[in-house]
Structure 1
Amino acid sequence: MKRSGRGSGGHTTIIKRSSKKGHHAAHTGAWKVAFADFTLAMMALFMVLWIVNSVSQEEREEIVAVLNGHTIFDGNPFSPISSLDGSSKGTKPVPMPIKVSAHMADVKTNAINPRQQRPLVPNPRATLNTALYNSKLEMEDLARVILKITESLEAGSNLKIEIVPQGLRILVQDDKSREMFQRGSAQLSPFFNELLLELAPVFDEIENPMIITGHTDAVRYKSKDNYNNWNLSGDRALEARRVLEKGGLSESKVIQVNAMSAQMLLDPDEPEGAQNRRIEIMVLTKSAADTLYQFFGNHGEKVVKPAAERVEGVASAMNTK
């Protein structure tokens, strides 16, 4: 308070001091954008949870199979996901990093005895577990064991391995210096006979079932009794199975033998090339084997019981009540 004037009759001036409050910054709409994003994310999450809850276990497995690759019964059954080095190479097989010595490449197939030519090596099966191999890492372990045997036989150019969604795909095929079969014949050459004999105990050690498939090139088989590439590829697959069983493979391990003729050429640009003449050995995962049983068998987790059996089961259950 401040008094003005000298006398008592002067007027009084009152000064009131007040602090000025600052104005808040103007509100923006940025929070609305963030809230909209959050709402959209939550809606997507709830939709996914609803779909997962409404889909059966069998349908989920089919969706996973479609996302990861093809089944063993569609038009392109062996589309690889990766080779052992982790790089994808498309639909063509990826050769494993094994070198073939120069002097072995020049030796004729019928002039060698593989048991006498190769050096003695430790048994590669010592590191193999007797189990059902399913995961990619387990298949890689199995592939390494097979590659050790291949190295001991110096057969790197004749055997290629791929990890595919259905298991482990092993291609045994011709090269420029070795032919697995004589032209038009289902008789294995000594070198490939020895290779399969060495691989047989490895396949018998594991619990995975197998499929053996024979392939020919596109050269037409000339025969008066209608014997053609279908017969030839089937006979070659059966011969491979016979040699594997001779080497110690249990008969029950092979659940299917296929003849493909020249329907699945590895090198379509060279249909008569040696790469197309091959035997494919497919070591199946449990899921792939169950799919096969579902199509052709009556056991396995995915097999649907016949309608008559289900009706009888329901009727018997009602009668017991």
Structure 2
Amino acid sequence: MSRRRKKKHHEDHMDESWLIPYADLLTLLLALFIVLFAMSSIDAQKFQLMSKAFNEMFTGGTGLMDFSSAADDGALDKPNVKKQETHNSVSNKEQENAAKLRDQEELKGLQGKVQAYINQKGLTDKLQTSLTDEGLLISIRDNVLFNSGSADIRGEDIKTAGEIADLLIMDPPRNIIISGHTDNVPIKNSRYQSNWELSVMRAVSFMKIILQNEKLDPRWFSAKGFGEYQPVAPNNTPDGKARNRRVEILILPRSKG
């Protein structure tokens, strides 16, 4: 009889208080996983609502889970900001590409205009055009404008230079580089000590003539001389030398890169 009473007394006084912290621990772990899941979402509004609900459940609206300040500071909006920055970067790139395409189309139209002039004047063997990565290039044989060894434009060719100047009128204007080139035959006379000097003066002389057109702004023009150092053909034949003796007009793109 006494044994039964002892056993019953032991069962009545078994300590089950450990169940309470264990249940709280499970609840907190569940809350932690929910919070971590919410933090992985870029929806700041839903996160704030979730945070508020748990704060009210565990702390009456205040405590460790109060993330409203972080949300107010914009920390949760960073993914959206980054997404917006990426979108803006893509948009800028698309605008740049569109501008380049428009620029190329404009240069193609200008090339067609110059080519029509060449065909009309029967200058296909003396003037050439090509569209390159650097821009629209117009190449003029030296015998169109100059006597051998001279940088002075012949009187009968000043009209041709003026007509070419008309082709360079653009709105808005573009940067234009005039460059002179020679063959590799050495030159030394009373005026020019080298092919380099001759090429520079031919570029300058031609630029002066076309800038007599009042519709062209000198601020958009520059002149260079390359002498014999940028040949477009071998200098071992008369035709190759003739091709290398030239003045070039390079019309630059408005957009770089």
TM-score band (shorter)?
A: 0.5 to 0.7
Give the whole-Å Cα distance in 2 for the aligned partners of 1:181 and 1:287. 34
Pair 1:193 & 2:161 matched: no
Map of 1:241 onto structure 2: 207
The structure richer in helix per residue is 2
- Residues 132-189 of structure 1: CA deviation (Å, up to 9, x unaligned): 9963322111011112222332222111000011210110114xxx453111110112
Pair 1:252 & 2:219 matched: yes
- Residues 91-125 of structure 1: CA deviation (Å, up to 9, x unaligned): xxxxxxxxxxxxxxxxxxxxxxxxxxxxxxxxxxx
The change in CA–CA distance for 1:133 and 1:227 in structure 2 (over 3 A counts) is farther
Map of 1:20 onto structure 2: none
The change in CA–CA distance for 1:242 and 1:271 in structure 2 (over 3 A counts) is farther
Map of 1:202 onto structure 2: 167
Give the whole-Å Cα distance in 1 for the aligned partners of 2:105 and 2:150. 38
Counterparts of 1:255-266 in structure 2, within 5 Å, are: 256-266=222-232
Paired residue secondary structure (1:287): coil
The change in CA–CA distance for 1:139 and 1:226 in structure 2 (over 3 A counts) is closer
Counterparts of 1:159-174 in structure 2, within 5 Å, are: 159-174=127-142
Cα-Cα RMSD: 3.0
The change in CA–CA distance for 1:286 and 1:153 in structure 2 (over 3 A counts) is same
Paired residue secondary structure (1:138): helix
2:189 pairs, out of 223, 226, 238, with: 223
After superposing the two structures, state which structure 1 stretch, 161-170 or 151-160, moved more: 151-160
Give the whole-Å Cα distance in 2 for the aligned partners of 1:134 and 1:223. 48
Residue pair 1:172, 1:280 contacting (<8 A) in 2 also: yes
- Residues 245-265 of structure 1: CA deviation (Å, up to 9, x unaligned): 1134221120x2111000011
Cα deviation for residue 270 of structure 1 reads: 2.9
Paired residue secondary structure (1:266): coil
Q: Which amino acid aligns with 2:147?
A: Q
Q: Which amino acid aligns with 1:165?
A: D
The change in CA–CA distance for 1:231 and 1:152 in structure 2 (over 3 A counts) is same
Q: Which of the pair has more CA radius of gyration? A: 2
Q: Which runs of 5+ in 1 are unaligned?
A: 1-52, 61-131, 292-321
Q: Which amino acid aligns with 1:200?
A: A
Identity percentage of aligned residues: 24
Give the whole-Å Cα distance in 2 for the aligned partners of 1:195 and 1:168. 19
Give the whole-Å Cα distance in 2 for the aligned partners of 1:195 and 1:169. 17
Map of 1:157 onto structure 2: 125
Cα deviation for residue 269 of structure 1 reads: 4.6
Counterparts of 1:1-321 in structure 2, within 5 Å, are: 135-174=103-142, 178-206=143-171, 207-223=173-189, 227-248=193-214, 249-254=216-221, 256-270=222-236, 273-288=241-256
Q: Which runs of 5+ in 2 are unaligned?
A: 1-85, 94-99
Cα deviation for residue 277 of structure 1 reads: 0.6
Q: Which amino acid aligns with 1:237?
A: A
Give the whole-Å Cα distance in 2 for the aligned partners of 1:203 and 1:215. 21
The change in CA–CA distance for 1:220 and 1:283 in structure 2 (over 3 A counts) is same
Aligned pairs, how many?
Answer: 159
Give the whole-Å Cα distance in 1 for the aligned partners of 2:191 and 2:168. 36
